[in-house]
């Protein structure tokens, strides 16, 4: 049983909401679009952490008659919503930055820098709480969001220092545009990845022809067809195929099935359905009674 990461997500979410409140209030007081832009980034990160928390709970729910593959795709649906919200907020930031270029306004750099420094401290704390190098995708994605927020806080601090020491107020909307660009790139990446899984495209890193060649290399195999590779969720890949085999004993076929499954698992495929067909009977036009299916999946 894997350790439930929810407690780390809850603590990180609490810190994120505190940072969000501070940056919204500080941005309004200091009149800094960079700080408000970063607050928008923090808002989407709070959504991301909340969605990760939900996904961590749902992903542990076992499959049932209503969801035979499990409930992992609820997290993907939430990810698409989160990604689209990232793009919407980025558009708002771009519009506000444009207005600041057209009509520059005074910026309270003291409040701006104080709040941004507090945000940076909170983001570093969250990065340490979530850690790195973990296998849990939800925690990893949340950690990447926090790292992006940390970079945004650094950008706000740099722009605040430029305004403070040079008086060049355009540094504020420039920082807003940079932060907005980071946000929209992250949002589109999330939407693209989740949409690819929903459309059941071949997951990145898998080559159908190469897999077919490796399976066909087994001496017992005459050929393979009706190959399907798709993702049930991120890093949860499924595979199904019909395999033509020589006429052989059931015990030998079981050994072949285990060998093929071992090959597929070594590639990162964890849900496998193989249907064996007597290739010699097919080619001779004879009726074959050896029609065996093998199914395997890891939870």
pTM above 0.75? Answer: no
The answer to whether the CB of 190 falls within 8 A of the CB of 80 is yes
What are the structural domains, with CATH classification, of the chain? 6-198 (1.20.1510.10), 208-297 (3.30.70.1350)
Query: DSSP secondary structure string, 163-227?
Result: HHHH--TTHHHHHHHHHHHHHHHHHHHHHHHHHHHHTTPPPTT--HHHHHHHHHTSTTEEEEEEE
Digitized pLDDT (tens) for each residue of the chain, 299 residues in all:
445 567 778 888 888 899 889 888 888 888 887 778 778 777 877 877 887 787 777 767 777 787 777 777 776 777 777 778 778 878 877 888 888 788 877 778 888 888 888 888 988 888 888 776 555 555 666 776 777 778 778 888 888 898 888 888 888 888 888 888 887 887 787 788 778 888 888 988 899 999 999 999 998 898 899 999 998 876 789 999 999 988 766 667 888 999 999 999 999 998 899 998 875 665 454 444 444 445 555 54
C-alpha radius of gyration, the chain, whole number: 26
The answer to whether the CB of 42 falls within 8 A of the CB of 24 is no
3-state secondary structure of 287: coil
β-strand partners of 292:
276
How far apart (Å, rounded) are the C-alpha atoms in residues 97 and 116? Answer: 18
């Amino acid at each position: 049983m894997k350790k439930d990461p929810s407690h780390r997500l809850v603590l990180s979410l609490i810190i994120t909401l505190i940072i969000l409140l501070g940056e919204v209030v500080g941005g309004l007081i200091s009149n800094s679009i960079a700080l408000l832009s970063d607050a928008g980034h923090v808002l989407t990160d709070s959504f991301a952490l909340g969605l990760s928390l939900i996904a961590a709970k749902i992903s542990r729910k076992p499959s049932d008659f209503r969801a035979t593959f499990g409930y992992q795709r609820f997290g993907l649906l939430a990810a698409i919503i989160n990604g689209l919200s990232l793009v919407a907020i980025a558009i708002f930031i771009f519009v506000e930055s444009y207005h600041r270029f057209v009509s520059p306004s005074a910026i309270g750099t003291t409040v701006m820098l104080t709040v941004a420094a507090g945000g940076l401290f909170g983001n570093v704390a969250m990065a340490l709480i979530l850690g790195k190098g973990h296998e849990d995708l939800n925690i990893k994605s949340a950690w990447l969001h926090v790292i992006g927020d940390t970079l945004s806080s650094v950008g706000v601090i740099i722009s605040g220092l430029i305004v403070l020491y040079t008086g060049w107020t355009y540094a504020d909307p420039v920082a807003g545009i940079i932060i907005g660009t980071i946000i929209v790139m992250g949002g589109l990446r999330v939407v693209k990845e989740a949409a690819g899984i929903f459309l059941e495209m071949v997951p990145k890193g898998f080559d159908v022809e190469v897999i077919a060649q490796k399976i066909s290399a087994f001496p017992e195999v005459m050929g393979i067809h009706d190959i399907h590779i798709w993702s049930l969720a991120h890093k949860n890949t499924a595979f199904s195929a019909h395999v033509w085999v020589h006429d052989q004993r059931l015990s030998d076929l079981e050994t072949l099935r285990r060998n093929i499954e071992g090959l597929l698992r070594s590639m990162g495929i964890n849900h496998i359905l193989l249907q064996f067909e007597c290739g010699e009977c097919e080619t001779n036009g004879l009726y074959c009674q050896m029609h065996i299916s093998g199914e395997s999946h890891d939870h």
